[in-house]
Every structure is written in structure tokens, then in C-alpha cells.
Structure 1
């Protein structure tokens, strides 16, 4: 069972690294570049998803003090769903318009 949780740690670290690089530089994975219209939302969503996976594994390996299973279950699922919602919104919301060019004729 430990190798499954260890794989989750690796995936969580990759998601956190992807979120940080998206927030700092605007870089996205090549598979997401065409679909994402708001990179900052995507970065925050990736951070929440990665944090959810990492917290579950930190509780499993007893690195963090143990809390009740309800807190772990509902807290982890809330983080995961919030991250997935932000990732979905980053792809579904329309691209922001530049207000400098809104009043120019021909636009």
C-alpha cells in the first residue's frame, strides 16, 4: 500500500510544481495551452489539487499529527473539488478583453 501512496506523493509534487510555474511565469503544460484562457486560475487549481494529494499521503505516513477520518476525508475532498472547479473555470471562462483597446473604432 505504501507504493500507491508514494506514487500519489510524486503526482502531488508534480501538480504543485506545475501550479507554481504557472503562477510565476505563466507556463502551462503543452496539452493545456490551447484550452486554458486564464492561467492564474489554472495555477491555483493545480496547487489545490496537489495539496490535497500531498495531505492525504502525509497523514498516511504519520508525518502530520493524525486527525479524525472525517476531517481527512471531507477536508481532502473539499480541496480536491475546489481545485478541479478552478481548473474547469480556467478553461470555460472567456478570455479577458484588454480595456485599453475597448473604445477604439474597428474593434
Structure 2
């Protein structure tokens, strides 16, 4: 079992402490950096004021991106499965033809 470690991150200039497993440390830092960048973008746009409103907007944007990417992944998987089925059918058709006994041609003696 891995030990937990304390990780300090800054989001919009405010420091937060988290405990995580050592192997999750880099991912936590990357996630915090991504969140900080998104929140700064939202804050700098000037349309939304207040830390909690900025955080909620960033969370909604990230959830929207996640769901959109899941849909794209699902569509890509379905497309790949359809292509594999078509290729499988073509292979079956070709192999079915080649499984039948070959008719002798001149020079096959």
C-alpha cells in the first residue's frame, strides 16, 4: 500500500492543501494547474464575479468538455466497430469463396 503525502496547490492565488497517494501527486498538480488556468480565464473575461461563481462556471465547463469527449469516444468506438464488422463480412465472403475446391486450370498438374 502506498503512503499518502501532503500536496499544496495554488488556485487563483489561494493555497489549498490536499492529501493524496504519492503516485497520484503529479496528476493532482496537473489538475490543479488546469483548474487554475480555467478559473483565471473566466475571471479575466470580466463577465463573472465572485470566487464561488467562477468555480461553478469552471466546473460546468469541465463537465461539459468531459461529456462531449465521452460522446466523441463513444461515436469513434461505434464507427470502429462498424468498420470491423464490414471488414469481417468482406473477409468472410472472400474466404468463403477460397474455401471451395479450386477448379483446375491449365498448368496445375
Q: Above 0.5 in TM-score?
A: no
Larger radius of gyration: 2
- Please identify which structure carries the higher strand content: 2
TM-score bucket (shorter structure): 0.3 to 0.5
What TM-score do the two structures reach when normalised by structure 2?
Answer: 0.33
What TM-score do the two structures reach when normalised by structure 1?
Answer: 0.34
